[in-house]
Amino acid sequence: GAGVSQTPSNKVTEKGKYVELRCDPISGHTALYWYRQSLGQGPEFLIYFQGTGAADDSGLPNDRFFAVRPEGSVSTLKIQRTERGDSAVYLCASSQGKDEQFFGPGTRLTVL
Amino acid sequence: DAKTTQPPSMDCAEGRAANLPCNHSTISGNEYVYWYRQIHSQGPQYIIHGLKNNETNEMASLIITEDRKSSTLILPHATLRDTAVYYCIVRVANSGYALNFGKGTSLLVTP
């Protein structure tokens, strides 16, 4: 079956702009996670959704970052007033309940 | 979640067994050991997990010491496609919480 998909695969933006990154989880998966991965580092947790609600958003670095999952399926990560330090690969994962997480290919964000 | 320690890099010849160590001396009684790997330019992929007994699946074997303070992931016959970064993670199973990846071990399988 289809895995986790993320769009766009690459996004280049200018400092100060607003961006949205989309994640389509595996159908029926109730849990959805966002991670951020900088060059040479392991993925770092941002936010976790159980259904429509954010169960844990402790990894969001500041209030410029926000994520939604209005219907309990697709999720959008929103970044306001982007900064060069936001450049990274943004990974999305989904799981059925609390089982293993399945990851998408990521969105590579470059802030110029 | 408990912290893990892994060597930054390892080499392995194709066809040989790759043994990747992980130290987790502060692991709690209800924490499992998970292994994920990340092939270049892809998202991480689940490999295996265990509590205290050794585990085996189609991808790998996981050996956990009796005191649970360390473990070894074994790829029995490494192929070039196994070249990846391997992450050892300890966490409470069925917690629904995030994975704490650390830096992992970069495994290079050579011809």
Tell me if B27 sits within 8 A of B89, measured CB to CB: no
What residue type is assigned to position A83 of the chain?
A: E
The partner residue sitting opposite B44, judged by closest CB among A40, A50, A103, is: A103
pLDDT tens-digit series, residues A43-79? 999 999 999 999 999 999 999 999 999 999 999 999 9
For A69, phi then psi, to 5°, come to -150, 70
If we measure between CA atoms, which residue out of A61, A56, A24, A52 comes closest to residue B98?
A56
Is pLDDT of A107 > 60? yes
Which of A6, A35, A36, A46 has the highest number of chain B CBs within 10 A, making it the mutation to test binding with B? A35
For residues A47 and A67, give the distance between their C-alpha atoms in angstroms, rounded to a whole number.
8
Say what the pLDDT of residue A64 is. 97
Measure Cα distances from B100 to A21, B1, B4, B34 in Å: 22, 8, 9, 10
Say what the pLDDT of residue A88 is. 98
If we measure between CA atoms, which residue out of A88, A55, A43, A3 comes closest to residue B97?
A55
Is pLDDT of A96 > 90? no
pLDDT tens-digit series, residues A2-41? 899 999 999 999 999 999 999 999 999 999 999 999 999 9
In angstroms, how far is the first alpha carbon of chain A from the final one? 37
Say what the pLDDT of residue B48 is. 94
For residue B92, list its beta bridge partners.
B31
Is pLDDT of A97 > 70? no
Q: Which residue of B has its CA nearest to A33?
A: B98
What's chain B's Rg over C-alpha atoms? 13
Spell out a b/e string for B75-105, using b for 16 or more CB atoms within 10 Å of the CB, else e.
beebeeebbbbbbbbbbeeeebbbbbbbebb
For residues A85 and A104, give the distance between their C-alpha atoms in angstroms, rounded to a whole number.
22
Say what the pLDDT of residue A38 is. 95
Name the pLDDT band for A90 (thresholds 50, 70, 90): very high
Which of A24, A100, A107, A108 has the highest number of chain B CBs within 10 A, making it the mutation to test binding with B? A100
A16: left (phi over 0), alpha (psi -120 to 50) or beta: left
Q: How near does any CA of chain B get to the CA of A17, in Å?
A: 25
What is the number of H-type helices and E-type strands within chain A? 0, 11
Q: How near does any CA of chain B get to the CA of A65, in Å?
A: 18
Query: Which of chain A's residues have a Cβ under 8 Å away from the Cβ of B101?
Result: 35, 42-44
Q: What averages of pLDDT result for each successive group of 10 residues across chain B (111 residues)? A: 88 97 93 94 94 94 96 97 96 77 95 95
Say what the pLDDT of residue B2 is. 61
